[in-house]
Every structure is written in C-alpha cells, then in structure tokens.
C-alpha cells in the first residue's frame, strides 16, 4: 500500500476561468477544451458552466455532457447552480448533467446581507435543493462561498451550516491504493441531507484574502470537526498566494484542489493548473491523475481561445522558462547539467533552449550550433560570438533559425543564398469586398504566380502562396500556429512593427520567424519568406 496521498484535481477553466474580463468561449471551444481536459490531461473533474446563464451556455453543457457520456465520464462534469428552488436543478436536468455544484453562503455576512435570510432559512433552502436534485438523479457538491471570510469573522455560522448538512463525525480510514486508481475511491463517507447524498464540501477563498498559515489553521479545524467529509479548496490569487494556499490546504487535509488553465479567473485569477500539479508532485509527493506531458498543449489551446497571452516567464508553460540566457549556465550544462532541476522540459513535452544575445557567450552559441550540426573552429566561433553580441546590443532577437545566416554572413564562405525570393506582390483592400492578393515568387530559380482572396490582406497573401505550393510544387504549406504583433510604445503610425509567426512543420516541430517593417502586412510577409527559406535550406541539407 502506498503512503502517498491522492489529491483530486477539479478544473474550473470553463466556469470560473470564463469569468476573466474579456473572455467568452464559444460552445464548440468549450467542447474542445473539455475533451482535452478529460481525455488527454485526465483531469478528475471539470466545472463547465453556471446554470441559467444563456442559451449558448446551455448548448455547450449539452455538448460536453453528450461527449462525457460517450467516454463514461459524465459524473466528472459539474455545473455551478444556485439555491433557487427547482430552477438550477431543472436547468442541469435539461442539459443531461449529473453533478450540481451548489453555491451556498459560507459567511454570516453574505447570508444576511446578500440573501437577507437567517441561517436557519438558508439551511432549509439548501436542503430543499439537495432533496429535489436527488429526485432528479443529480448529485450535489456544496460551495461555501466566502468560507475564508466566514472562518475569520463568523466561524460559529460555518459550523452551524456544516452541522446541519453533515451527520457522521466518526473517524475516517482511507484506502490509498484505491484512491490512486480512482479519485472516487477515497472511501470518504458522504454527508446526508434528508437521506440524500452530498458528495463534497468545497471551501473557497472567494476574495483571495488568506495566507498559507491561515489556510492551515482553518482547514485543520474543519477536518478535525468533520473527519468523514471530503473537502475541496478553491483558491483565488489576489495576493499572489493561490498556489501556496493550495499546497497548504493539501498539507492540512484537503482531498481536492480547484485550478484553472493558465490561472484564468475573476480579478487576479485562480490557482494555475500547471503550477499546482508540479508542486503537489515534487514538494508534497502527492498522487494525481494528471498527464503532465499535455500541460503545455492545453495551455496553448486555452491561450488561443481566450485571447489571454501567457506571460513568457510563467512557470512551466511560459516561452522562456526552459531557456537559459547566461553563458555560464550553458557552460555548466555542458559540464554535467549543473543548472538543471526536477522541472525538466521533456517532462512537459518541451525542450531546453539556449538564448543568444549580448550575455549568452560562446557556450550558448555552441549549444545551438551543435543542435544544427554546425562545427566551427575556435577562431570562427569568436567571430560569430562577436556578431551575436553586437546584435544583442541593438536589442535584436537572435534565434536558432537565424544562426546559419549569421554564420554564412560572418565567415563569407559557402554563403546561404535565398532559395525563395519574393519577386512581386500586390494586395488590394476595398470596403465591402474581400482583400485580394497577386503574388509572384521565385523558388529554386523557377518563377511561379498565384492569386487568392482572403479574410485580410495577409490571409490573401498566404492563400496565394499555398496555391502555388499545392498546384505547382505538389507540396504542403506549413500551418500558421500563432501570429503576434508588437509595436513600440508611443503609438506613432510610422513606428516599426515586429511580427512573430509560429509555424507548425510537417514533422510537428514548431518554427518561429520574425519580420520588421513600418507596415504590419509587410512585416508578416518578411517573416513568411524567411520561414520558406529555412524550409528550403533544411531540405537541401
């Protein structure tokens, strides 16, 4: 029998995460995220919506429930509902959902000032909803909204509510081996209301006001008083303590933690799924169901659908977190991986990179050259290093893809000529009409022409190129994975625009190219032609 504790992970990206300002998922986007969370990432539970919100929300929940039914995971799909008589329960029933996360009031202030009810009245209303849900075959988890405020200001109210909703306070024995196989096998005896089952009590730090010491204190009080109860913890990140507080809750008896992908959520967001997962595993030696190799994939999917960019230095999932910049780090890695820790990029389906710039030095450049299969003499290395440093001083970004061109330019031999040249192009834009593009390119000495319309000027340009590659060369064109535009502060209309495009190659490898120009479309075109040259040169080599 393992002595490791199993912690359930409940992802609330599709409910609490969608409360991020400016975020609204379409029904099919919700389905795609839900499928990835359940099928690929293997999250124990997902909270997918709030009841009564909209027709679009109802359609999304129906789609997710149909999918979950097909893979025998319907019990893992949860919907937030309210103490509103039959309304929320009926909404779930119409959607085919089987688990209601009932939002009750966890502090006296919320009960009396927001609901204008006495504790006894609120308890009676909760019991009525739970009983009706049981009649409909719907299980219930109960949120104690503002539980952190309740424990601070009105603990007697929290205990009154819990006492009324729980009946068994006897000691608890947990079969850890069963828990490892399935989050539902914790042998946690469920609370009963009028003979009906309450699966879990979920304790939120709704306003993000707690620190880890308070979480430990309050959680231990709850677990001691209600030892047979399954408690979840739901953290908010207002003081940047959501991850620390989640770990404190796990250390103090929480059997489930709530997270969101990329830390999305109201105000400052919730505890990020990726960070909570690695801290549970590496610092608490806990067991979870999460497939870590898919963490980066789900983060990129949610980034794309939400429009909320991941910070480059976001732990685990940021672009820069597995990139060494200082040359001394690359040197140490060459001499025994001296700057590695347990967060190996391969663990998350990623790889380590060594940035090149004014602080990178020879070691970083050498690591990149080795990956490209280029072998230089010490004197050649010195000249290439000097050029990279000069570019770094000018704040120019040097990528691995740039390195062969820099080497050729510096050494002045075996010069890599452009295999793909843009001979001419014309894009037109007229009100009420789709943009048109006419493109002439030279590929390995042969000229080709293509034309197309598109949803934008650059889209029309790319579609014309795709037509050339398909009809004339019988080759596939790399897929555009991401498109980012940055301009310097100040808002001048003549400012240089940098466009960074991420491409997915046939091999599945991602390639990033950059273009710089005062015109955004021209910058994107430069990045595209640069990508095509990299592809042609790699085919030659």
- Give the whole-angstrom CA distance, residue 202 versus residue 475: 54
Q: ∠ CA 96-233-160 to the nearest 5 degrees?
A: 90
Q: Which helix (H) or strand (E) holds 510?
A: strand 510-517
Strand pairing partners for 450?
439
Identify which of 214, 194, 57, 97 has the alpha carbon closest to the alpha carbon of residue 151: 214
- Residue 324 DSSP SS3: strand
Identify which of 222, 206, 252, 215 has the alpha carbon closest to the alpha carbon of residue 103: 206
Catalytic site includes residue 15 = yes
Angle between helices 27-35 and 295-306 (to 10 degrees): 170
Q: Where are the beta strands (DSSP E) in 333-434?
A: 353-354, 420-428
Which one is catalytic: 47, 57, 78, 145? 145
> Mapped to the 3 state alphabet, what secondary structure does 410-456 carry?
HHCCCCCCCCEEEEEEEEECCCCCCCEEEEEEEECCEEEEEEEECCC
Q: What's the chain's Rg over C-alpha atoms?
A: 28
Rounded alpha-carbon distances, angstroms, from residue 217 to 152, 223, 236, 355: 11, 10, 18, 44
Q: Which residues contact 481 (CB under 8 A, 6 or more apart)?
A: 502, 503, 504, 510
Sign of the four-CA dihedral 276, 280, 282, 288:
negative
Identify which of 511, 481, 483 has the alpha carbon closest to the alpha carbon of residue 497: 483
Q: Which helix (H) or strand (E) holds 482?
A: strand 479-486
Which one is catalytic: 15, 200, 255, 367? 15
- Residue 169, exposed/middle/buried by CB under 10 A (0-12, 13-18, 19+)? middle
Q: Quick one: tokens of 466?
A: 């795709």
Identify which of 273, 217, 215 has the alpha carbon closest to the alpha carbon of residue 241: 215
Q: Which residues contact 493 (CB under 8 A, 6 or more apart)?
A: none
Catalytic site includes residue 184 = no
Strand ordering across the sheet containing 479-486? 479-486, 497-504, 510-517
Q: Which residues are catalytic?
A: 15, 145
């Amino acid at each position: 029998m393992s002595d490791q504790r199993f912690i359930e992970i409940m992802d609330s990206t599709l409910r609490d995460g969608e409360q991020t300002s400016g975020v609204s998922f379409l029904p099919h986007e919700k389905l795609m995220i839900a499928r990835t969370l359940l099928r690929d990432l293997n999250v124990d539970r997902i909270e997918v919506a709030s009841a009564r919100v909209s027709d679009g929300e109802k359609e999304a929940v129906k789609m997710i429930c149909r999918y979950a039914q097909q893979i025998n995971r319907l019990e893992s799909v949860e919907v937030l509902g309210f103490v509103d008589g039959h309304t929320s329960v009926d909404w779930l029933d119409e959607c085919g959902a089987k688990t209601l996360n009932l939002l009750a009031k966890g502090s006296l202030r919320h009960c009396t000032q927001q609901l204008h009810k006495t504790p006894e009245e609120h308890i009676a209303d909760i019991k009525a909803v739970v009983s009706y849900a049981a009649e409909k075959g719907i299980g219930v988890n109960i949120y104690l909204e503002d539980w952190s405020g309740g424990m601070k200001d009105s603990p007697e109210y929290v205990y009154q509510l819990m006492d009324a909703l729980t009946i068994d306070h006897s000691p608890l024995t947990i079969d850890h081996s069963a828990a490892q196989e399935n989050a539902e096998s914790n042998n946690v005896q469920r609370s009963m209301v009028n003979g009906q089952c309450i699966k879990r009590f979920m304790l939120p730090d709704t306003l993000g006001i707690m620190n880890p010491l308070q979480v430990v204190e309050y959680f231990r009080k709850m677990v001691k008083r209600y030892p047979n109860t399954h408690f979840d913890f739901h953290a908010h990140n207002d003081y940047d303590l959501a991850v620390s507080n989640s770990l404190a809750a796990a250390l103090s008896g929480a059997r489930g933690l709530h997270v969101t992908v990329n830390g999305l959520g109201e105000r400052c967001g919730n505890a990020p799924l990726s960070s909570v997962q690695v801290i549970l595993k590496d610092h608490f030696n806990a067991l979870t169901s999460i497939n870590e190799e898919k963490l980066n994939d789900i983060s990129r999917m949610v980034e794309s659908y939400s429009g909320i960019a991941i910070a480059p230095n976001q732990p685990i999932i940021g672009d820069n977190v597995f990139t060494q910049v200082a040359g001394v780090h690359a040197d140490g890695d060459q001499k025994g991986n001296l700057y590695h820790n347990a967060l190996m990029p391969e663990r998350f389906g990623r790889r380590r990179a060594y940035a090149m710039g004014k602080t990178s030095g020879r070691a970083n450049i050498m690591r990149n050259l080795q990956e490209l299969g280029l072998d230089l003499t010490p004197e050649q290395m010195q000249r290439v290093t000097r050029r990279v440093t000069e570019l770094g001083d000018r704040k120019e970004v040097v990528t691995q893809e740039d390195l062969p061109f820099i080497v050729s330019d510096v050494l002045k031999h075996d010069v890599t000529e452009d295999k793909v040249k843009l001979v001419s192009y014309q894009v037109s834009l007229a009100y009420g009409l789709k943009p048109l593009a006419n493109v002439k390119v030279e590929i390995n000495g042969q000229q080709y022409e293509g034309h197309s319309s598109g949803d934008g000027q650059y889209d029309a340009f790319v579609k014309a190129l795709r037509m050339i590659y398909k009809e004339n060369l019988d080759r596939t064109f790399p897929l555009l994975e991401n498109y980012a535009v940055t301009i310097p502060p100040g808002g001048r209309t003549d400012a240089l625009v940098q466009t960074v495009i991420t491409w997915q190659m046939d091999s599945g490898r991602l390639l990033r190219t950059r273009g710089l120009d005062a015109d955004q479309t021209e910058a994107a075109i430069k990045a595209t032609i640069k990508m095509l040259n990299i592809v042609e040169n790699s085919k030659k080599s």
